[in-house]
Amino acid sequence: MNLSDEQEAIRDVVREFAVEEIRPTAAEADSDQTFPEDVWDGLADLDLTGMTVPEAYGGLDVDRLTYSLVNEEVAYGMLSVATALSVHCLATSCIAEFGDDDQRERWLPEMVDGRPVGAFALSEPQAGSNPAEMTTEARREGDEYVLNGKKQWITNGQRAGVVVLFAKTDRDDPRSVTQFVVPKDADGLEVGKKEDKLGLRASDTTSLVFDDVRIPAANRLTEEGKGLSAALHILNGGRIGIASQSVGLAQSALDEAVEYAGEREQFGQPIAEIQTIRHKIADMRTRLGAARLLARDAARKDDRGEDVELAASMAKYFASETAVDVANEAVQIHGGYGYTTDFDVERLYRDSKITTIYEGTSEIQKKVIARNVLG
Ligand SMILES: Cc1cc2nc3c(=O)[nH]c(=O)nc-3n(C[C@H](O)[C@H](O)[C@H](O)COP(=O)(O)OP(=O)(O)OC[C@H]3O[C@@H](n4cnc5c(N)ncnc54)[C@H](O)[C@@H]3O)c2cc1C
């Protein structure tokens, strides 16, 4: 599938940034569980923190295919960084797509510049795969809403300055989910525990606790009751992003495996000469190619204005499972060395797993795919 000259140029710039600036920080950021803020500033300098924002608010307003390419390349550098960026873009997309002119003007220009960082708060301790079961409440009082509840697994939970929040105006009515934008420094909003995770360790994941947080009614992004459909719409694009990140991570694991197989000798020859290893590489490359095609196909459909629910779920499901498989085989090809932090494949293997879980698990993607096929 051909890319335009502009798409190729952006991809090449981001690939260079990923190799030169992101990758060298990855091992330390992972072991320290600290987000590489200099890298974030670099992404902002490349205007990528505003890539889903209209030009009128200073953004790049790229097409979905370009968004997919950027996600792939940033994840080639490090998944933690790609995740932080894509969640920031979910937040800016919500404000750009559902906000009015005042709301856009108030929040977007600064977020385009990279700070404040955005967060997207949908999941709760008891409501993950089924967000309609959320219990966080937004009670209207005069010109304000009063927020109470707890959000769970919030990427950029510590770093963010702006939270796009989903809450019910009536706790007992699943149709009352509404979307708000909440400044992180609002009184009564506390950042909860930072999760100690298997992978994605440089990306901060926290809970957010809302205890009588008062926000102006003007911070409501959608009409009451329109929040869940807004979230699901935005997540279709998000899933294409996660599919693309999975492709980037898998490409990184494959490149590491190919290099190692060429250098490592056993039985008097590079292991790359052993047919079993060659077949592993062939399988990895084939699945990676198929995942990339699915991700780009979904992105192109989105750019043509077609319904992408099916394509986005197929891409997310296949690409994320591929990332896990390819990273697993990359560790295997490294033998015992791959099991140590001396080699990047160890981190890639740990990081890969989250792609099958967040923004809809593989089981949920299959549910969506089957519903589209079977009705
Ligand atoms: C590192 C990380 C970052 C995250 N970032 C964010 C974020 O920024 N914002 C946000 O809102 N959320 C975020 N999430 C939350 C994430 O989207 C949820 O964890 C995910 O949707 C799954 O929800 P759950 O963990 O509650 O699992 P559950 O919904 O409890 O699922 C448990 C298991 O049951 C399966 N299952 C559930 N229902 C069905 C069904 N109907 N059919 C078949 N199988 C089913 C699931 O596939 C899974 O295997 C993040 C999560 C993690 C771990």
Q: Which residues are catalytic?
A: 359
Task: Examine the domain organization and report whether 352 and 332 are in the same domain.
Answer: yes
- The ligand 1 atom at the shortest distance from the C-alpha of residue 195 is 1
**Of 80, 87, 124, 358, best ligand 1 pocket probe by most atoms within 8 Å of the beta carbon:** 358
DSSP 179-204: EEEEETTSTTEEEEEEP--SS-TTS-
Task: Examine the domain organization and report whether 218 and 294 are in the same domain.
Answer: no
CA atoms lying within 13 Å on the CB side of residue 211: 8
pLDDT at 190: 98
pLDDT (tens digit, 9 = 90+) per residue, 191-249? Answer: 999 999 999 999 999 999 999 999 999 999 999 999 999 999 999 999 999 999 999 99
Task: Examine the domain organization and report whether 365 and 242 are in the same domain.
Answer: yes
Burial class (CB in 10 A: 0-12, 13-18, 19+), 2: exposed
pLDDT at 79: 98
Does the C-beta of 363 come closer than 6 Å to ligand 1? yes
Does the C-beta of 236 come closer than 6 Å to ligand 1? no
CATH number for position 73: 1.10.540.10
pLDDT (tens digit, 9 = 90+) per residue, 163-200? Answer: 999 999 999 999 999 999 999 999 999 999 999 999 99
Task: Examine the domain organization and report whether 40 and 110 are in the same domain.
Answer: yes
Q: How far apart are CA 66 and CA 64, in angstroms?
A: 5
- The ligand 1 atom at the shortest distance from the C-alpha of residue 122 is 11
Per-residue burial over 84-100, b = 16 or more CB atoms within 10 Å of its CB, e = otherwise: bbbbbbbbbbbbbbbbe
pLDDT at 1: 67
Q: How far apart are CA 159 and CA 120, in angstroms?
A: 12
Residues 294, 241, 108: CA angle, nearest 5 degrees: 150
Q: How far apart are CA 66 and CA 252, in angstroms?
A: 19
Task: Count how many domains the chain has.
Answer: 3
Q: Where a domain ends, among 223, 248, 282?
A: 223
Q: How far apart are CA 325 and CA 331, in angstroms?
A: 10
**Ligand 1: centre distance to CA 127 (Å):** 8
pLDDT (tens digit, 9 = 90+) per residue, 305-337? Answer: 999 999 999 999 999 999 999 999 999 999 999
Does the C-beta of 269 come closer than 6 Å to ligand 1? no
Task: Examine the domain organization and report whether 204 and 332 are in the same domain.
Answer: no
Task: Examine the domain organization and report whether 369 and 239 are in the same domain.
Answer: yes
96 close to 102: Cβ distance less than 8 angstroms? no
3-class DSSP state for residue 165?
Answer: strand
Q: Where a domain ends, among 160, 192, 223?
A: 223
Closest protein CA for atom 40 of ligand 1: 364
pLDDT at 4: 97
246 close to 292: Cβ distance less than 8 angstroms? no
Task: Examine the domain organization and report whether 356 and 311 are in the same domain.
Answer: yes
Q: How far apart are CA 148 and CA 188, in angstroms?
A: 9
pLDDT (tens digit, 9 = 90+) per residue, 274-304? Answer: 999 999 999 999 999 999 999 999 999 999 9
3-class DSSP state for residue 119?
Answer: strand
Q: Are strands 205-216 and 265-266 parallel, antiparallel or unpaired?
A: unpaired
pLDDT at 229: 96
Closest protein CA for atom 32 of ligand 1: 129
Task: Examine the domain organization and report whether 328 and 198 are in the same domain.
Answer: no
Closest protein CA for atom 45 of ligand 1: 363
Task: Examine the domain organization and report whether 204 and 69 are in the same domain.
Answer: no
Q: Which residues contact 133 (CB under 8 A, 6 or more apart)?
A: 124, 126, 127, 174
220 close to 179: Cβ distance less than 8 angstroms? yes
Q: What are residue 162's DSSP bridge partners?
A: 118, 183
Does the C-beta of 354 come closer than 6 Å to ligand 1? yes
**Ligand 1: centre distance to CA 212 (Å):** 26
CATH number for position 141: 2.40.110.10
- The ligand 1 atom at the shortest distance from the C-alpha of residue 359 is 17
3-class DSSP state for residue 248?
Answer: helix
pLDDT at 150: 98
Q: How far apart are CA 318 and CA 303, in angstroms?
A: 21
Length of the chain as a residue count: 375
Tokens at 90, concatenated? 């979910």
pLDDT at 159 over 70: yes
* pLDDT > 70 in the chain, percent: 100
Task: Examine the domain organization and report whether 150 and 69 are in the same domain.
Answer: no
Task: Examine the domain organization and report whether 200 and 276 are in the same domain.
Answer: no
Task: Examine the domain organization and report whether 17 and 107 are in the same domain.
Answer: yes
Does the C-beta of 134 come closer than 6 Å to ligand 1? no
Closest protein CA for atom 37 of ligand 1: 129
What is the pLDDT of the chain when averaged over all its residues?
A: 98
Which range of residues forms the domain containing residue 100? 5-116
Tokens at 214, concatenated? 């008062």
Does the C-beta of 121 come closer than 6 Å to ligand 1? yes
Q: Where a domain ends, among 74, 92, 116?
A: 116
